[in-house]
């Protein structure tokens, strides 16, 4: 998460006219380029590299420059367009009605301006509906004759990705509407959300696997919605909240009434929406929810104000980016000021060293905060941190809060500048930092205690070997010299355990039984448990399918490894390094001697064939007989490779309905065989009737 919360991506807000026209043009182009890049990171990758406030400041700068230099007008400027989330792994679908963004403000003055602008333009009475702005990712749900027919992301506002299969897994989205007055065709606009509790659990899991964390529930929701495997999406427990209806012949001219009806149809409409007749009532709503929102189970980032009457909305119209009849008021992130007491360093199981700020305890969003994450050396340098500094802490949705700034005016007695440690705090080995990485590592993986304990903790987790023991037990057994690595668990004796302080016979027996049971855990989970860097759960599954026993995997070359779908160079090298390390190879052999599963089960093997060996298949369109994910799994299972894009290396295109025209054209040009699902299943000898 390099640079995530530092300000160093922001250019100084210099006066645009300095340096004349060509300087302004350069500046405009740089800003546009930066913003396109940030949009991509945010909407497509769901991994922003700057904060929203910083992003909005850049956007504001660009808008001001464009106003001053209209000669450099560009219809594709980020100020003119809705940021696009389009991802080529999905089929793109045209929106019948455009899906716009909202104009954002952070101040009450701008809300008053909006209110007065509407009043002037309409020149008649109007009502404003205030709604909480739930912070997820936007979705358009198309219901035809009351049935959910399509779910499309906002995309670039004109067309979006068809994510119907994933959306069908969202619990509170009805597949069939119930009740009266349901139009034949209606688009329900809403937000797909990840509740705080699910988000925190997900990030804890990612943290334990040293995978990059999601910055907030919004990015986690959008990342999840764009996953290729609907089963994983279903497991992530997304929710929805809907906030607008589009279509001809809607039941009422009042947006508020339509939403009340939508609730009766079975859609989840927040009970917090309120109709207001005056600016005072609007401000009251803002004030109340700025505090009350903190106890909601989902994230909110503001309030949306909408003119209630649909005919008045039509009169006010829209720009290319947002409607003129609505505006979003964004809440400020809650901040607290406290003192930095010290910085300590934690070593993870892969040796990554994370700095942690220890703070004078302070109350923030209802909890007492004592520690904050400092990410890495660059983040510390960007803040210019000194011990004793008064620092601002914010909870941006991360598990532990972050330091967002230093009150430099309050520095009377300047303390020591925070210097990143050069040696491992646990084993004193000099740290290393790879050139293009922000993270420091302790290279002493074999003897550094937190790394050893961390690896054992990972080995026993539920999704790996599922041995019921916590970090305290691991720490105790390690300190007593009973375990030096996870393989030693299998050599533990009853006597070793009962002689430990506070250990009774039952707890000793339970642990031994749990260890014994883990010997039946399937190969792919054992592979994950080994803790090979970058080999998470899904990668382990892919590797297990492609190399059905560990000897094949250990002998695989980098080329062979990277020929497996989604296995890139980085993972391949890490797998190779693992097996070439004598210590690791010995570890695997000892585990094998204890009877762990190091090959795919008979069942999984029986289903495997080489019918598609050496063949690359691209899947395009939507299917009737199986889902896209099922087809992907079949390709893997029969030894083939699935790829997202058509190239000269493609052997087949498995085409369903609505195959993208660009893909078809390319396939024809390259002379690639396009087959339908029945032909494909015949190739595999699968019965499908």
Ligand X SMILES: NC(=O)c1ccc[n+]([C@@H]2O[C@H](COP(=O)([O-])OP(=O)(O)OC[C@H]3O[C@@H](n4cnc5c(N)ncnc54)[C@H](O)[C@@H]3O)[C@@H](O)[C@H]2O)c1
Annotated catalytic residues are 133
Secondary structure of 247-299 in HEC code, one letter for each residue = CCCCCCCEHHHHHHHHHHCCCCCCCCCEEECCHHHHHHHHHHHHHHHHHCCCC
* Residue in 62, 215, 448, 452 binding Zn ion, rule: CB under 5 A: 448
Nearer to ligand X, 330 or 349 (CB): 330
Residues 6 or more apart in contact with residue 285 via CB below 8 angstroms: 130, 274, 276, 303
User: Tokens 């909240």 sit at which residue?
Assistant: 241
Residue 648 per-residue DSSP state: T
Q: Which is nearer to ligand X, 218 or 666 (CB)?
A: 218
Of the candidate spans 41-49, 255-263, 502-510, 596-604, the one that interacts with ligand X by CB under 6 A turns out to be 41-49
213 lines the binding site for Zn ion (CB under 5 A): no
- Between residue 131 and residue 190, which ones bind ligand X under the rule CB under 6 A? 131, 133-134, 138, 154
Check binding of 507 to ligand X (CB under 6 A).
no
Q: Which stretch binds ligand X (CB under 6 A): 11-19, 51-59, 428-436, 558-566?
A: 51-59
Q: Given the complex with Zn ion, which of 222 and 451 has the nearer CB atom?
A: 451
Task: Give the span between the Cα atoms of 503 and 491, in whole angstroms.
Answer: 18
Task: Tell which one of 442, 515, 543, 545 touches Zn ion (CB under 5 A).
Answer: 442
Q: Which is nearer to ligand X, 54 or 677 (CB)?
A: 54
Q: How far is the CB of 275 from ligand X (least distance, A)?
A: 14
Q: Could you tell which of Zn ion, ligand X, none binds residue 138, using a CB distance below 5 to 8 A set by kind?
A: ligand X
Contacted by 427, from ligand X, Zn ion, none: CB < 5 to 8 Å by type: Zn ion
Distance of alpha carbon 458 from alpha carbon 469, whole angstroms? 11
CB of 431 to Zn ion, least distance (A): 8
Nearest distance in Å: CB 11, ligand X: 15
- Separation between Cα atoms, residue 56 and residue 61, nearest integer Å: 9
Candidates 185-193, 329-337, 428-436, 549-557: pick the segment binding Zn ion (CB under 5 A).
428-436
Least separation in angstroms between CB 42 and ligand X: 3
Out of Zn ion, ligand X, none, which partner does residue 41 contact, by CB within 5 to 8 A per kind? ligand X
Nearer to ligand X, 8 or 645 (CB): 8
Tokens read off for 155: 């995309």
Return the residue of 104, 313, 350, 373 that touches ligand X, per CB under 6 A.
104
427 binds Zn ion (CB under 5 A): yes
Buried b / exposed e along 395-406 (16+ C-beta atoms within 10 A)? bebbeebbbbbb
Q: Which residues contact 281 (CB under 8 A, 6 or more apart)?
A: none
In Å, how far from its chain's centre is CA 658?
28
Residue 43 is given by DSSP the state I
| Among residues 9, 47, 77, 101, the one that binds ligand X under rule CB under 6 A | 101
- Figure out which of the listed residues 41, 47, 318, 365 binds ligand X, where binding follows CB under 6 A: 41
Report, in Å, the least distance between residue 290 CB and ligand X: 16
Nearer to ligand X, 48 or 160 (CB): 48
CB atoms within 10 A of CB 267: 22
Closest chain position to ligand X (CB): 138
328 is an interface residue for ligand X by CB under 6 A: yes
CB 328 to ligand X: min, Å: 5
Dist. CA 522–CA 253, nearest whole Å: 59
The one-character DSSP state at 88 is: T
Instruction: Rule CB under 6 A: choose which of 1, 6, 34, 83 binds ligand X.
Output: 83
Q: Which is nearer to ligand X, 44 or 521 (CB)?
A: 44
Q: Which stretch binds ligand X (CB under 6 A): 45-53, 196-204, 558-566, 640-648?
A: 45-53
Q: Does residue 445 bind Zn ion (CB under 5 A)?
A: no
Phi-psi region of 300 (alpha: psi -120 to 50; beta: other; left: phi over 0): beta
- Gyration radius of the chain over CA positions: 28
In this structure, what token pair is assigned to residue 230? 């609907």
Please report the sign of the dihedral spanned by the C-alpha atoms of residue 648, residue 652, residue 654, residue 659.
positive
Could you tell me the maximum CA-CA distance found in the chain, to the nearest angstrom? 87
How many angstroms separate the CA atoms of 8 and 2, rounded? 11
Encode burial over 317-348: b for 16+ CB neighbours within 10 A, e otherwise: eeeebbbbbbbbbbbebbebebbbeebebebb
- Decide whether 102 or 246 has the Cβ nearer to ligand X: 102
**Distance between CA atoms of residues 673 and 618, nearest Å:** 11
Using CA atoms, how far apart are residues 302 and 75, in angstroms rounded to an integer? 29
Q: Which of ligand X, Zn ion, none lies near 48, with the C-beta cut-off 5 to 8 A by kind?
A: ligand X
Within a 10 A sphere around the Cβ of 182, how many other Cβ atoms? 18
For residue 55, the partner it binds in Zn ion, ligand X, none, with Cβ less than 5 to 8 A by kind, is ligand X
List the one residue from 424, 431, 526, 571 that touches Zn ion (CB under 5 A). 424
Question: Structure tokens of 499?
Answer: 């002689």
Among 187, 191, 389, 457, binds ligand X (CB under 6 A): 191
SS3 416: coil
Helices 52-68 and 20-39: angle between axes, nearest 10 degrees:
150
**By C-beta, is 448 or 539 nearer to Zn ion?**
448
Tell me if 232 contacts Zn ion by CB under 5 A: no
Contact 297, 195 (CB under 8 A): yes
Whole-angstrom Cα distance, residue 664 to residue 57? 42
444 binds Zn ion (CB under 5 A): yes
> Which of 24, 31, 55, 329 is the binder for ligand X (CB under 6 A)?
55
**Of residues 131 and 426, the one with the C-beta less far from ligand X:** 131
Enumerate binding residues for ligand X (CB under 6 A). 38-39, 41-42, 48, 50-52, 55-56, 82-83, 101-102, 104, 131, 133-134, 138, 154, 191, 243, 304, 328
Enumerate binding residues for Zn ion (CB under 5 A). 424, 426-427, 429, 442, 444, 448
């Amino acid at each position: 998460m390099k640079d995530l919360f530092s300000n160093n991506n922001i250019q100084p807000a210099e006066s645009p006219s300095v340096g004349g026209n060509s300087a302004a043009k350069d500046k405009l182009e740089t800003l546009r380029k930066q913003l396109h890049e940030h949009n991509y990171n945010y909407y497509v990758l769901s991994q922003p590299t700057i904060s929203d406030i910083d992003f909005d400041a850049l956007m504001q700068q660009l808008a001001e420059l464009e106003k001053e230099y209209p000669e450099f007008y560009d219809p594709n400027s980020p100020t003119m367009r809705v940021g696009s989330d389009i991802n080529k792994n999905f089929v793109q679908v045209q929106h019948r009605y455009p899906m716009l963004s909202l104009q954002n403000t952070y101040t009450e003055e701008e809300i008053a301006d909006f209110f007065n602008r509407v009043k002037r333009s309409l020149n008649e009475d109007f009502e404003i509906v205030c709604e909480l702005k739930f912070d997820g990712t936007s979705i358009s749900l198309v219901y035809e004759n009351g049935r959910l027919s399509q779910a499309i992301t906002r995309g670039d506002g004109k067309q979006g990705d068809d994510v119907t299969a994933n959306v069908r897994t969202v619990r509170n989205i009805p597949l069939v509407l119930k009740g009266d007055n349901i139009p034949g065709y209606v688009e329900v606009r809403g937000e797909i959300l990840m509740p705080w509790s699910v988000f925190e659990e997900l990030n804890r899991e990612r943290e334990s696997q040293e995978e990059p964390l999601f910055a907030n529930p919004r990015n986690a929701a959008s990342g999840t919605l764009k996953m290729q495997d609907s089963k994983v999406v279903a497991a992530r427990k997304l929710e929805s909240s809907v906030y607008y209806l589009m279509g001809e012949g809607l039941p009422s001219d009042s947006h508020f009434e339509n939403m009340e009806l939508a609730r009766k149809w079975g859609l989840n409409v927040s009970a917090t929406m309120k109709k207001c007749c005056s600016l005072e009532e609007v401000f009251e709503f803002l004030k109340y929810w700025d505090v009350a929102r903190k106890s909601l189970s989902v994230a909110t980032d503001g309030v949306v104000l909408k003119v209630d009457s649909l005919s008045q909305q039509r009169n006010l119209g829209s720009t290319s980016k947002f409607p003129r009849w609505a505006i979003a008021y964004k809440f400020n992130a809650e901040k607290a000021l406290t003192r930095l007491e010290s910085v300590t360093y934690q070593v993870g199981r892969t040796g990554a060293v994370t700095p942690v700020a220890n703070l004078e305890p302070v109350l923030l969003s209802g909890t007492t905060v004592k520690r904050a994450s400092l990410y890495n050396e660059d983040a510390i340098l960007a803040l210019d941190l000194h011990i004793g500094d008064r620092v601002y802490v914010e909870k941006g949705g991360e598990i532990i809060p972050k330091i967002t700034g230093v009150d430099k005016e309050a520095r009377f007695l300047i303390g020591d500048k925070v210097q990143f440690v050069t040696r491992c705090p646990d084993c004193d080995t000099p740290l290393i930092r790879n050139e293009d990485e922000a993270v420091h590592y302790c290279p002493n993986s074999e003897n550094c205690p937190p790394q050893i304990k961390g690896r054992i903790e990972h080995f026993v987790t539920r999704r790996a070997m599922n041995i019921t023991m916590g970090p305290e037990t691991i720490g105790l057994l390690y300190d007593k010299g009973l375990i030096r690595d996870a393989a030693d668990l299998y050599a533990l004796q009853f006597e070793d355990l009962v002689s430990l302080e506070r250990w009774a016979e039952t707890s000793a027996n339970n642990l031994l039984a749990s260890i014994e049971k883990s010997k039946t855990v399937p190969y792919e989970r054992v592979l994950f448990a080994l803790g090979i860097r970058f080999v998470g759960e899904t990668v382990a599954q892919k590797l297990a399918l492609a190399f059905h026993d560990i000897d094949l995997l250990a002998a695989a070359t980098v080329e062979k490894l990277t020929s497996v779908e989604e296995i890139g160079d980085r993972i391949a090298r890490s797998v190779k390094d693992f097996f070439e390390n004598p210590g690791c190879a010995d570890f695997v052999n000892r585990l094998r001697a204890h009877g762990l599963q190091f090959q795919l089960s008979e069942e999984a093997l029986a289903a495997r064939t080489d019918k598609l060996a050496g063949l690359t298949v691209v899947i395009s369109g939507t299917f009737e007989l199986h889902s896209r994910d099922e087809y992907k799994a079949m390709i893997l299972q029969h030894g083939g490779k699935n790829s997202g894009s058509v190239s000269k290396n493609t052997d087949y295109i498995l085409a369903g309905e609505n195959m993208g025209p660009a893909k078809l054209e390319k396939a024809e040009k390259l002379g690639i065989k396009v087959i339908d699902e029945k032909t494909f299943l015949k190739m595999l000898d699968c019965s499908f009737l």
